[in-house]
Amino acid sequence: MNESLLPVGSCRVGAAFPDRAAAIRACGRLLVESGNVDEPYVEAMVERDAASTVYVGNGVAVPHGTKASTAHIRRTGLAVVQVPDGVDFGKDRVARLLVAVAALGDEHMDLLAEIAELCADDDALARLLAAKSPAELHALLTAGA
């Protein structure tokens, strides 16, 4: 992943959440804090998951906003949150890594392709889930895990 899209401050490890809405909101707040999105985008991320789950498989969820919420995106960016004990996305879908996306235009297609590659690589995913600090998680992601 491109380092300019994922600042180390947008990485968290060892997180725990009571439910998926709280997990998605935490991801959204990271995007707000890094200046990628305005606050209304956060609730649009929760709405998007309610309409159709953002869980993509292999323990990974990709929270992102609705089509209408793109007006609240300032610039393309990512936030990544490691949840060692997982967060339940329903129907036996437990996410241990959340990769939040805010993308302008067609930039999301390249980002989603990178995330899909990550999801398919069990070894890389295991390294991300074993990261002990935001800096380590960031280094793994920006080095291609």
Is 72 designated active site?
Answer: no
CB environment 115-124: b (16+ within 10 A), e (fewer): beebbeeeeb
Choose the catalytic residue: 64, 72, 108, 138: 64
Contact 13, 129 (CB under 8 A): no
Burial of residue 126 (CB within 10 Å: 0-12, 13-18, 19+) is exposed
Active-site amino acid positions = 64
